[in-house]
Structure 1
Amino acid sequence: MARGRHLLLSVEPLNTLLEQKWEKFAAYMFAINFLLYVSYVITFTAVYYDRSHANKTDTMATTSGQLCGQICILTWAVALLCIEVASIIHLRLSDLQSIMTDAWFHILFFLQSGLAVLCTILNWAGVEFHLAIQVLAMALSWINILYYTRGFQSMGIYSVMLQKILLTDVARFLFIYLLFLIGFGTALASLIQGCQDSEQCSAFASFNTAILELFKLTIGLGDLEVQKQVKYPELFLFVLVLYVVLTFVLLLNMLIALMGETVENISKESKNIWKLQRARTILNLEKFLPKYLKEKFQLGKTFHGKRYIRIKEVNWTKWNTSLARINEDPGNDEEDHTIHHSLRPRRTSFRRPLHLWGRKKWNHGSPTDRKQQEEDPQSNVEMISPQDASQI
């Protein structure tokens, strides 16, 4: 059921209801939210980037403009942190898959706002470690702008592809690659003899340096050469070549093929997935509306205490063959014939039951009786017995 949620959004009246909500209030709220967040990101970047380059001798010095910017950043980050905590709590997630699909950007916004608050507090406390936290917060703040691409159908699908690839294909690749990296790193480090001079030691002398060298080989930055202090040079070179074939040639090409298949599958359902993204956004924005605004933004019209909305029902399985121009004016009978013949209901012919033991009795009475017989043909049928039928 969870995998087919995006298909339900094409069913009426849910499709029309979400479309009208987006056009009435959600699009404007989404645009205002986007402008406010972009202003926050630009302010955060300008304040801390200018601070790290303005005075290299005293990085803890703060001007009045920087202090005002930091106060604004702290206020917005605290507000964003509270909003995201409330959003994650209201999701009522039951399993890990739902958390990673539904709360993906909520978790990123939560981490960014938390790091921004911690960075500002450590900066005011004079702790130099705030620079490391500042770097992470600044990178996440710009990455989170991808959330607002869901307002556009052509761009919103990219964030879905990125999320799907990272959580499925890349995660599986990293798990398998980590097994190869640890196994081959341990094997190659065990073939290196002890070295007294650290400057002349091989890069594979320890487990940590061996892991680093193997990673360089994976991305094409390492060298395939026999190292010094190797007990069995031929075996060392064979293991090294085997690692390159399994990781650089095999695993990376498998990852590229899987990512291409994932992108192709998502592209087939891109419109429905984008509608699902927008539906989540509409529901999240609607939660923060006051009660009087919710009543003001109610859709449809009220008749006899019930609310109705107008929808356009279409047979979606045959829309490309049976869709035509329909004249809805009931008073113009001549233009009713402009409807395409494929939309006309087929006439079903009902055959009258055959009476095997019946014969027609003609009545040559008055005109009134003949008219009654024409209107009711069944009244002219008389049941006879099989013996009489054999004599006819």
Structure 2
Amino acid sequence: FEFLLHKIKLDISGWIMDGWMDLMCLLIYPELFAFEGETILHIAVVNQNVMMVKELLSRNADTKNARARGSFFSPGKGQCYYGEYVLSFAVCMGNEKIVNLLIKSGAPLNAQDTQGNTVLHMLVLHPNKTLACRMYDYLMSLITIDKIRYLESIINNDGFTPMKLAVQKGDVTVSMFNHFIKRRKQVYWAFGPVTSTLYDLTGIDTWEDELSVLDIICTSKEKNVRELLEVTPVKEVLHHKWTNWGYKFFFLWTVLYILHIVIFTICCVYRPLEPIRTKMNVTIMNLKPLSRSYELTTDFLRLAGEILTVLGSFCILFTEVCAFFLSVIVISMILRFAGSDGQTTILALALICAWCNVIYFARGFELLGPLCIMIQKMIFGDLMRFCSILILVIIGFAAAFDVHFQALNPDVYVYFSDFPITTFTLFQLMMGLTDLPGPPSIPVPDIIIFLYMIYMFFAFVLLLNVLIALMGDTHYRVVHERRLLWKAQIAATILLLERRLPKWLLPRLGIPGDAVGLEEGKWYFR
């Protein structure tokens, strides 16, 4: 009975089950619904039974609409994601005879499953890349060049063509991406050992393509994807763009930014101040009111610098996604007009952020680029993890110290008078900036000495050395990958410039197809 229910549910003989039968199968054998849509032709293909496939095709088995959509065949959750259609199953099995039989019987190559994947997408997802490349060549030998171009241009639900999906998956050992590239190249001329090769830039270059191969490489979190930057023609395309216009625009951008923050710094250093005497007969400098800030010739020179700083800030603010320090400059300008003293704190933050942001521009130089990557990875990786643990440790020990110092004279132990001050004191102790503060003539309770020893061992000895070890490991990894990491930074910089600069400033890369007797509308890189 179980066998019969299984066969009926799989629609082997084409019978249609009634509602009560569906309900009974669901209640008694819920696992059967994992194989929903699978037909006997799917089973014959998976078993690579060529004679059975021939017999079923001779009896008009459905090769166009039959889809195995059960959870067993779903990507991620299922065990065997083979693309739902019979032809996709056959391609994933790698049996050329069955594939040939199915194509001759009318099985569509362009059929898209629930994920939008075609037969070519399934080959990209196949774990056996050698088999995938062989099946790709076999499929291409059965159809015309126009059909090949059409199939290679179909995008799935994520917006990836088969070639772009190969990049997104980051498999570069026996890469399908390399296979796509080799099949798309055209030998323009040859003279002995010297050849001139044209590579189709469709899908690779970022021109009029918001999700190009270069975009995927720069945004992918897969570590292996960066290795595609060493693959022809990606390597040559990036080198050509960087040397011809990328480096020039980036250098100009760097110079303008540094000039901008230098003017900003000078304006901050020479702010309009006036001396004020306090009750203690001490002279301090205070900010002049706005009405008396522009009286001398030097004040108007400073005004010109302030105007340039604000205008530059607004220009960059409209183009930057995260321009924190530029927003701070705008806030400080508002506080200046309002006559608030809070602008001093805001300006200090802006100066720190502005000068630290110069590290970003070091990415354009091969000497400093890997160092900037190392700093970034240490700050957002090692240091963030270290600080997360350190905060918990300091809070715990600060509470323990505060409990004991509450019973002591706060005028004597000023650095432990309350919880916030105790927390800051423990931070200084951990960094080695101070010793255990307190008058030497007054004995400290033994429990405080005990807590101090435990804290210094745990925070100063253990945690700091762990941080040093983490940073050393990061340095080792970055040093061994510095060339690829720097190239990834260059690729990201080129994409950034292409997105922000107007098209008329950037020459399009490559040669139009009609100029070399190839397909019109496409561009090729030689």
TM-score between the two structures when normalised by the length of structure 1: 0.67
The residue matched to 2:238 in structure 1 has which SS?
A: helix
| 1:70 equivalent in alignment to 2:306 | yes
Out of 314, 338, 347, the residue aligned to residue 125 of structure 1 is: 338
Letter in 2 for 1:36: L
User: How much has 1:227 moved relative to structure 2?
Assistant: 7.8
Take 2:272 and 2:374, find their aligned partners in 1: how far apart are those partners? Answer: 35
The residue matched to 1:191 in structure 2 has which SS?
A: helix
User: How much has 1:141 moved relative to structure 2?
Assistant: 1.1
For the 8 Å contact 2:509–2:525, the answer to whether it is kept is no
Q: Tell me the equivalent position of 2:477.
A: 265
Q: Tell me the equivalent position of 2:106.
A: none
Q: Residues 193, 151 of structure 1: CA spacing in aligned structure 2 closer, same or farther, 3 A cutoff? A: closer
Gaps of 5+ in 2: 1-169, 171-220, 276-284
Out of 407, 410, 424, the residue aligned to residue 212 of structure 1 is: 424
Equivalent pairs counted in the alignment come to: 284
Deviations 1:168-204 (A, max 9, x none): 1111111111111111111121123445x64234633
Q: Tell me the equivalent position of 1:223.
A: 435
Q: Tell me the equivalent position of 2:405.
A: 192
Q: Which runs of structure 2 are paired with 1:165-204 in the superposition (5 Å)?
A: 165-194=378-407, 198-201=410-413, 203-204=415-416
For the 8 Å contact 1:20–1:299, the answer to whether it is kept is no
For the 8 Å contact 2:241–2:494, the answer to whether it is kept is yes
Q: Once the two structures are aligned, what percentage of the paired residues are identical?
A: 31
The residue matched to 1:264 in structure 2 has which SS?
A: helix
Letter in 1 for 2:455: Y
For the 8 Å contact 1:70–1:120, the answer to whether it is kept is no
Deviations 1:71-124 (A, max 9, x none): 111111011001013xxxxxxxxxxxxxxxxxxxxx3xx101111111122213
Q: Tell me the equivalent position of 1:254.
A: 466
Deviates more, 1:265-274 or 1:126-135: 126-135
Out of 347, 367, 383, the residue aligned to residue 134 of structure 1 is: 347
| 1:22 equivalent in alignment to 2:242 | yes
Q: Tell me the equivalent position of 2:525.
A: 309
Structure number with greater Rg is 1
Out of 508, 513, 526, the residue aligned to residue 297 of structure 1 is: 508
The residue matched to 1:153 in structure 2 has which SS?
A: coil
The residue matched to 2:309 in structure 1 has which SS?
A: helix
For the 8 Å contact 2:272–2:287, the answer to whether it is kept is no
| 1:241 equivalent in alignment to 2:457 | no
Deviations 1:271-301 (A, max 9, x none): 000000000100111112333344x333345
User: How much has 1:232 moved relative to structure 2?
Assistant: 8.8
The residue matched to 1:150 in structure 2 has which SS?
A: helix
Q: Residues 247, 282 of structure 1: CA spacing in aligned structure 2 closer, same or farther, 3 A cutoff? A: same
Letter in 2 for 1:147: Y
The residue matched to 1:252 in structure 2 has which SS?
A: helix
Deviates more, 1:253-262 or 1:2-11: 2-11
Deviates more, 1:22-31 or 1:199-208: 199-208
Higher helix share: 1
Q: Residues 44, 188 of structure 1: CA spacing in aligned structure 2 closer, same or farther, 3 A cutoff? A: same
Q: Residues 289, 192 of structure 1: CA spacing in aligned structure 2 closer, same or farther, 3 A cutoff? A: closer
User: How much has 1:127 moved relative to structure 2?
Assistant: 1.6
Q: Tell me the equivalent position of 1:84.
A: 320
Q: Residues 52, 239 of structure 1: CA spacing in aligned structure 2 closer, same or farther, 3 A cutoff? A: farther
User: How much has 1:243 moved relative to structure 2?
Assistant: 0.5
User: How much has 1:206 moved relative to structure 2?
Assistant: 2.2
Take 1:36 and 1:47, find their aligned partners in 2: how far apart are those partners? Answer: 17
Letter in 1 for 2:240: Q
Take 2:437 and 2:481, find their aligned partners in 1: how far apart are those partners? Answer: 48
Letter in 2 for 1:260: G
Deviations 1:121-171 (A, max 9, x none): 221332221111111111111111111111111111111001100111111
| 1:11 equivalent in alignment to 2:231 | yes
Take 1:212 and 1:293, find their aligned partners in 2: how far apart are those partners? Answer: 53
TM-score between the two structures when normalised by the length of structure 2: 0.51
Take 1:70 and 1:123, find their aligned partners in 2: how far apart are those partners? Answer: 12
Provide the aligned C-alpha RMSD in A.
Answer: 2.4
For the 8 Å contact 2:271–2:287, the answer to whether it is kept is no
Gaps of 5+ in 1: 86-106, 311-392
Q: Tell me the equivalent position of 1:100.
A: none
Deviations 1:5-42 (A, max 9, x none): 32121111111011111122111111111111111011
Out of 150, 154, 158, the residue aligned to residue 371 of structure 2 is: 158
Please list every run of at least 4 consecutive aligned residues from structure 1 whose deviation after the TM superposition is greater than 6 angstroms. Answer: 225-228
Take 2:428 and 2:305, find their aligned partners in 1: how far apart are those partners? Answer: 41
Q: Residues 266, 175 of structure 1: CA spacing in aligned structure 2 closer, same or farther, 3 A cutoff? A: same
For the 8 Å contact 2:404–2:448, the answer to whether it is kept is yes
Q: 1 or 2 for the larger relative contact order (CA 8 Å, sep ≥6)? A: 1
For the 8 Å contact 1:173–1:251, the answer to whether it is kept is yes
